Amino acid sequence: MSFFNRLTTLAKADAHGVVDALEDKSLLLRQHVREAGEALERKRRRVAALDLEDKDLATRRDTVAAKHASFEDDVRLALAEGEDDLARFAIKKLLPLTERRGAIDRRREALATERAELQEELSRQETEYDELQCRVRGYLASHGKDEPGAAAGEDLYATPVADEDVELELLRRKKAAAQEGGG
């Protein structure tokens, strides 16, 4: 009899261990989903930072281009009037601006490449994230794990939306509405 009692006790302990393992797994799954969502949000912020840097560089380039054009005009004027010394002076001012404009253009190209690569990776990972959410929800549902907040309609896996993203979407929609109305 004692053998059967020990076997029963062992089976109960195993059953409790399985339940404990399932509980831990559900907590781990939820944590992994949260971490994946946070990683996506970090990448979205990086894309936004790249866009902001590109906008700043575009403004700088416009400023440099305006100064460059002004010195180009000065060089032409000085040469037309036969003033080689003044032309040299203007060229001396012009050359660093040419280099600065080139450096800005190279940085903008690098930003565009990085942004395109990051955007492609982000797009792929957003799809994977959505699939992960579905699989985790399916797993939790099949194992009878109610998600806290699910009864209240709260989506625990929803990715936070930045205010800037909302503003950009609003601008896109206004532009589309204006084009539909005017075109």
Residues 6+ apart with CB under 8 A from 29: 136, 139, 140
81-114 residue pLDDT tens: 999 999 999 999 999 999 999 999 999 999 999 9
Nearest to 122 by CA among 43, 46, 38: 43
The CA distance from 97 to 102, in Å, is 8
* Confidence at residue 66, expressed as pLDDT on a 0 to 100 scale: 97
The CA distance from 148 to 38, in Å, is 19
Angle, helix 2-80 to helix 163-182, in steps of 10 degrees: 60
178 or 166: which carries more pLDDT confidence? 178
Domains and CATH numbers, the chain: 2-148+157-178 (1.10.287)
Q: Specify the residue for token string 């896996």.
A: 157
One-letter amino acid of 100:
R
> Are the C-beta atoms of 27 and 145 separated by less than 8 Å?
no
152 or 98: which carries more pLDDT confidence? 98
- Structural tokens at position 6: 């020990």
Residues 6+ apart with CB under 8 A from 4: none
16-68 residue pLDDT tens: 666 565 556 788 888 888 999 999 999 999 999 999 999 999 999 999 999 99
